[in-house]
Chains A and B, each alone.
Chain A
Amino acid sequence: MLAFIQQIVSGIASGGIYASLALALVLVYRAMDVANFAQGEMATFSTFISYSLIEYAHLDFWTAFVITIVASFALGIGIERLLIRPFEGAPVLTLVIVTLGLFTIINGVTGLVWGYVFKEYRGAFISQPVRFGGLYLDTQDLGVLAVVLVMLLLLYLFFSRTKIGLAMRAASLYPESSRLLGVRVGWMLALGWGLAAAVGAVSGMMVAPIIFLDPNMMQSILLFAFAAAVLGGIESPLGSVVGGIAIGIVMALVGTYIPGGQDLRLAFGLIVIVVVLLVRPAGLFGRAAVRRV
């Protein structure tokens, strides 16, 4: 029983990472109704930036962390302005293919700059067991969770308490009316991409110390994040967090209790996506989509 609870706890911690990447996906989805397949590769790229800052510029982790987030934010905005904006109003299929193009470009650039050798990434937290009741908690897991929670709180405050956050929500819900009221909708979309890139960067920097750094690091995590976002309802930020934690727990249990489960985790991600979409397409917290003719 204790081992079971232990798995759930570690599942919650990795769930926090899935949740942050899922949140990044939701931010883009809310802005423009498209799933950004390049979100994971963007996060990997950001993580490599922080790696270089730490290893070659000899900055301490948290300074590198902040610089990376700012750089990722700028990069996200740049990508939206440069690559996504020309396709405004294009069919969903086109936008999906554009993000897949972005996926291969960023993956290639990351490999070109940093190579494909797995790198050890020194994160913020040192993995140490802490006894809590009968459980052993990992300081690294706790640290990751704390960072994710702080980030969520900041995002919540941003969207609920600031004028620009309100404008972003308005722009995604009612683009036409917002435009009439003087909200620069185009820039709000860019801001959404920037925020998503920043949030994704956090998830990358949190996961890299656990799974080594390489250009394909985020691909499986992207799948879990998609599963999390779909489970939570792809337009609900709260849903993505709950979904992320749930997926984290499921994957921890699958990895432990099913023989050879490590290999099957991705397939379980696929099953979650398909089953949720068939049974409850709106997810746990999403609104049921109205089909327009």
Chain B
Amino acid sequence: MRRLPAVRPEIVGLVVVGGVVLIGLPTVTNQFYTFEFAKVAIFVIALLGLNILTGYSGQISLGNGAFMAVGGYTTAILVHGPGVPYWATIPAAGLLAGVGGVLIGIPALRLTGIYLALATFALALSIPPVLNHFDSFTGGHSGIVMPPVLAPFGLDLSQEQWLYYLNAGIALVLFAFAWGVVRSRTGRAFMAIRDSETAAVASGINLAYYKTLAFGLSAFYAGVAGSLLAIATSYLNPDSFGLSLSLALLVGIVIGGLGLDFGAVLGGLFVVWLPYFAEKASGLQIGVFSFPGKPDIIFGALLILILFFAPNGAAGLLRRGWLWYLSLRGAARLPAAEPVAEREPTEIVP
């Protein structure tokens, strides 16, 4: 029998508080904030995918915005053309993007390090003009307009609230799935590849299979995120999926915490809210220094600072804080407090 690890009461408390916040949020904030939090959920999904690829498998991708474009356009075209209900397009968008990811993953097998960065960078840059080119499908520059989404079953929810619950629900399911994947045999193979390809191969890990799988999974997440983005904004055009989106994803996951479960969550919060606060702070005068209203500068500067001072990102800082708290509470009786990303507990076989 596998013994279930004891759950600390603090964890139970955090989960309860987290659940209450997650469910109660749209009832206490206004429509604008609710919509922004719906966007946070979308970015969390995209970042969960990028985390699987870059954080756990060590394959850099500057092109996940392109997979979001695949998902977004799948939904927009299916809803706009044959009139498929929007909720039915979400899995289709994820699967199609996932197939795209596998297709990109196959040539990417032979590209390592900066070459992979180069190729995916080129992918991110070349997607918008290609979408423009096939304007009979994509509507070109003018984009595709979709009917706004209303709460189903006569639920008494505003449009923003429904979008929030929809996105947050899907994000929660996909978070749990990613949580499971990285703790499974597959996840351990991903991390082995990240830490040393040679050692991974020597241990009998099929490099081609797992790398392609990582690309496919990551693109699936990006596709679902792209689909939800299209549904939330009920409009998309090629510029929604430019280089800046792909860069925002990378910045988000690095600042949130590469290879840590909550990195994607913190990264999503960051990517959505930083531009908002940067806008608010713009024009704020401190002496002669006027605060720049440009999130890019703050994004870039934070990125470099985080890499230098806290390579595990915000989630890494939180984890350190948690471990420190445990050490204060005399956690010696619970040896399971070892950090997850540094050493995976091996599965106990009866």
Interface residues as binary, A219-254 with B (CB distance below 8 Å gives 1, 0 otherwise): 110010011001000000000000000000000000
Q: Check: A130 CB closer than 8 A to any chain B CB.
A: no
Q: Check: B301 CB closer than 8 A to any chain A CB.
A: yes
Q: Which of the residues A87, A100, A262, A274 comes within 8 Å of B62, measured between beta carbons?
A: A100
Contacts of B60 in A (CB 8 A): 93, 96-97
Contacts of A33 in B (CB 8 A): 114
Q: Which of the residues A100, A219, A267 comes within 8 Å of B250, measured between beta carbons?
A: A100
Contacts of B119 in A (CB 8 A): 270, 273-274, 277
Q: Which of the residues B111, B129, B254, B294 comes within 8 Å of A108, measured between beta carbons?
A: B294
The interface residues of chain B, by DSSP majority, are classed as helix
Nearest-Cβ distance from residue A94 to partner chain B, whole angstroms: 6
Contacts of A98 in B (CB 8 A): 303-304, 307
Q: Which of the residues B115, B126, B297 comes within 8 Å of A270, measured between beta carbons?
A: B126
A273, B63: Cα distance in complex, Å: 14
Residues of A within 8 A of B (CB-CB), count: 46
With A264-B129, A270-B119 already in contact, the answer to whether A112 and B254 are too (CB < 8 A) is: no
Q: Which of the residues B111, B118, B122, B247 comes within 8 Å of A266, measured between beta carbons?
A: B122
Interface residues as binary, A73-105 with B (CB distance below 8 Å gives 1, 0 otherwise): 000000000010011000011101110111111
Tell whether, in the assembled complex, residue A108 and residue B297 are in contact, meaning their CB atoms are under 8 Å apart.
yes
Tell whether, in the assembled complex, residue B303 and residue A269 are in contact, meaning their CB atoms are under 8 Å apart.
no
A274, B294: Cα distance in complex, Å: 34
A-contacting residues, B114-150, CB 8 Å: 114-115, 117-119, 121-123, 125-126, 129-130, 132-133
A274, B117: Cα distance in complex, Å: 11
Which one of B111, B126, B133, B297 has the greatest number of beta carbons of chain A within 10 Å? B126
With A100-B247, A293-B198 already in contact, the answer to whether A86 and B114 are too (CB < 8 A) is: no
Tell whether, in the assembled complex, residue B300 and residue A105 are in contact, meaning their CB atoms are under 8 Å apart.
yes
Closest to B60 in A: A93
Interface residues as binary, B42-65 with A (CB distance below 8 Å gives 1, 0 otherwise): 000000000000100010101000
Q: Check: A180 CB closer than 8 A to any chain B CB.
A: no
With A266-B122, A273-B122 already in contact, the answer to whether A101 and B300 are too (CB < 8 A) is: yes
A86, B123: Cα distance in complex, Å: 30
Contacts of B113 in A (CB 8 A): 92-93, 96
Which one of B243, B247, B300 has the greatest number of beta carbons of chain A within 10 Å? B300
Residues of B within 8 A of A (CB-CB), count: 41
Q: Check: B91 CB closer than 8 A to any chain A CB.
A: no
With A96-B60, A267-B129 already in contact, the answer to whether A104 and B303 are too (CB < 8 A) is: yes
With A101-B303, A104-B303, A230-B118 already in contact, the answer to whether A111 and B126 are too (CB < 8 A) is: no
Contacts of A266 in B (CB 8 A): 122, 125-126, 129-130
Tell whether, in the assembled complex, residue A226 and residue B122 are in contact, meaning their CB atoms are under 8 Å apart.
yes
Which one of B54, B251, B299, B303 has the greatest number of beta carbons of chain A within 10 Å? B303
A107, B301: Cα distance in complex, Å: 12
A16, B271: Cα distance in complex, Å: 38
Q: Which of the residues A86, A102, A260, A273 comes within 8 Å of B118, measured between beta carbons?
A: A273
Tell whether, in the assembled complex, residue A86 and residue B308 are in contact, meaning their CB atoms are under 8 Å apart.
yes
Tell whether, in the assembled complex, residue B307 and residue A94 are in contact, meaning their CB atoms are under 8 Å apart.
yes
Q: Which of the residues B117, B130, B304 comes within 8 Å of A35, measured between beta carbons?
A: B117
Tell whether, in the assembled complex, residue A219 and residue B243 are in contact, meaning their CB atoms are under 8 Å apart.
yes
Tell whether, in the assembled complex, residue B129 and residue A277 are in contact, meaning their CB atoms are under 8 Å apart.
no
Tell whether, in the assembled complex, residue A102 and residue B304 are in contact, meaning their CB atoms are under 8 Å apart.
yes
A94, B114: Cα distance in complex, Å: 10
Contacts of A48 in B (CB 8 A): none
Q: Check: B107 CB closer than 8 A to any chain A CB.
A: yes
Contacts of B301 in A (CB 8 A): 101, 105
Q: Check: A278 CB closer than 8 A to any chain B CB.
A: yes
Contacts of B294 in A (CB 8 A): 108-109, 111-112
Nearest-Cβ distance from residue B308 to partner chain A, whole angstroms: 6
Tell whether, in the assembled complex, residue A226 and residue B296 are in contact, meaning their CB atoms are under 8 Å apart.
no
Contacts of B117 in A (CB 8 A): 35, 37, 93, 96
10 contacts between A and B (CB under 8 A): A35-B117, A83-B304, A92-B113, A94-B311, A96-B60, A104-B247, A105-B300, A267-B129, A270-B119, A273-B119
Residue positions of A touching B, CB distance < 8 A: 33-35, 37, 83, 86-87, 92-94, 96-98, 100-109, 111-112, 219-220, 223, 226-227, 230, 260, 262-267, 269-270, 273-274, 277-278, 281, 293
Given A33-B114, A96-B117, 14 further pairs, Cβ under 8 A: A87-B308, A93-B113, A97-B250, A97-B254, A98-B307, A100-B303, A101-B307, A107-B296, A223-B121, A269-B125, A270-B123, A270-B125, A274-B107, A274-B119
Residue positions of B touching A, CB distance < 8 A: 54, 58, 60, 62, 107, 110-111, 113-115, 117-119, 121-123, 125-126, 129-130, 132-133, 198, 243, 247, 250-251, 254, 292, 294-297, 299-301, 303-304, 307-308, 311
Interchain residue pairs A-B with the least CB separation, the first 10: A108-B296, A105-B300, A104-B300, A266-B126, A101-B303, A108-B297, A263-B133, A270-B122, A263-B129, A101-B300
